[in-house]
Amino acid sequence: MTQTASQASGNQGRIFSGVQPTGNLHLGNYLGAIKNWVALQNDFDCIYCVVDLHAITVPQVPDQLRQSIREVTACLIASGIDPEKSVLFNQSAVPHHAELGWIFNCVARLGWLNRMTQFKEKAGKNRENATVGLYSYPTLMAADILVYKATHVPVGDDQKQHLELTRDIAVAFNSMFETELFPTPEPLIQKTAARVMSLRDGNSKMSKSDTSDATRINLTDSAEEIARKIKKAKTDPEPLPETIELLEARAEARNLVGIYAGLAGCSQEDVLTEFGGRGFGEFKPKLADLAVEVIAPISTEMNRLLADHGAIDAVLASGAEQAAALSEPVLSEVKAVMGLKG
Ligand code: AMP
Ligand code: TRP
């Protein structure tokens, strides 16, 4: 079941989420996930991870990967993740993720993984050539979450299926070893902008891996780039409608309204109350101004942080130490119930 953050705060759990260090973060990451991560850190015990072991499921250039880990970390801090409040680290620095990931490879069934749509999308036509890691990726994601016994996972809509698999693994493990060791974590999915679409095609997801940069707003884009991309965003000739129902069949218009709502922190209905009946010639400049207002300060702060690699590396090292102190006892418990240690 999908919950909102306010519902989750009733049972005070532990939050875990991750983002891949592959290229720059974009508006989809921000509105779909990171904005929520920032809000949650005031009320929850939060662990946020730059998932570099997930990134290597497809080939990476070592120097670029090193740089991306720092960039994504800087971007998270610039977006409002506070390393004093939350644990912030990179996945490969804590070996327990990979270790529990292997154990989960021995719990999850081929049939479960065969259903994962993201593997099918990412592997494309040449499936025989995909790495085994890309295929078993969701078991590592389950380990990321469960090695901290996290109860809530704020993600974009695209990760819902992986979360369901995580729950299946937790239930299967508990039942195989007659234990209550793992919780069944809940996804926390935003109501607005859970799935931000490409600016050039309202039916495909805004993504880091899209070859055209015009499809996304990067959190590092300058004010001019943001305004230009929004001006060029695909739309239809009709003015904005007065009601949500009339947006249904208009993928691009719906996406821009969703983005506006996400950035302004209001509902899509509110956006239509303000802009219903008005054309894109009027709406787009307002959207561009709002996007610049939210994104430009993140990009400025990120560049400031990136000037000092040592400081970013120190944040990651301290986060890894805190994370390992939390995951080590859980892995120990897992080994004990499995008969891997006395
Ligand atoms: P990734 O960049 O794939 O590591 O994703 C990091 C987080 O951003 C995950 O929680 C995703 O669900 C979320 N995310 C990625 N792309 C989008 C998008 N286009 N719309 C909404 N959320 C997204
Ligand atoms: N699979 C997620 C993505 O591609 C990233 C991720 C890895 C993650 N491990 C996680 C997200 C654990 C939440 C919890 O976006």
**Nearest ligand, CA 49:** 2
Closest among 164, 140, 163 to 153, alpha carbons compared: 163
Q: Is residue 226 within 8 Å of 292, Cβ to Cβ? A: yes
Tell me the residue type at 28. Answer: G
pLDDT value at position 9? 45
pLDDT value at position 183? 98
pLDDT value at position 24? 81
Tell me the residue type at 78. Answer: A
Catalytic residue among 85, 160, 208, 234: 208
Q: Which atom of ligand 2 is nearest to the CA of 140?
A: 9
Domain 3-194+309-338: top CATH class: alpha beta
Phi, psi of 193 (to 5 degrees): 60, 30
pLDDT at 4 over 70: no
Residue the block writes with tokens 């884009």: 221
Paired tokens of 46 = 């939060």
pLDDT at 166 over 50: yes
Kindly state if the Cβ of 53 falls inside 6 Å of ligand 2: no
CA of 155 to the centre of ligand 2 (A): 8
Q: What is the mean pLDDT of residues 132-150?
A: 98
Paired tokens of 219 = 């959190």
Would you say the C-alpha torsion 197, 69, 315, 50 has a positive or negative sign? positive
pLDDT tens, 244-286? 999 999 999 999 999 999 999 999 999 999 999 999 999 999 9
Q: What is the mean pLDDT of residues 114-127?
A: 93
Which residues does residue 17 pair with via DSSP β-bridges, in sequence order? 48
Task: Name the pLDDT band for 215 (thresholds 50, 70, 90).
Answer: very high
Its pTM surpasses 0.85: yes
Kindly state if the Cβ of 258 falls inside 6 Å of ligand 1: no
Note the CATH number of domain 213-303. Answer: 1.10.240.10
Q: Which atom of ligand 2 is nearest to the CA of 118?
A: 4
Instruction: Establish whether 335 is a catalytic residue.
Output: no
Of the residues 34, 58, 141, which should be mutated to test ligand 2's pocket, given the most ligand atoms within 8 Å of the CB? 141
Q: Where are the alpha helices (DSSP H) in 214-308?
A: 223-232, 251-264, 268-275, 280-306
Phi, psi of 47 (to 5 degrees): -125, 120
Which residues does residue 187 pair with via DSSP β-bridges, in sequence order? 153
pLDDT tens, 11-45? 468 999 999 998 789 999 999 999 999 999 988 99
Q: Where are the domains of the chain?
A: 3-194+309-338, 213-303
Instruction: Establish whether 284 is a catalytic residue.
Output: no
pLDDT at 6 over 50: no
Measured CA to CA, the distance from residue 141 to residue 64 in angstroms comes to 23
Percent of the chain with pLDDT over 70: 96
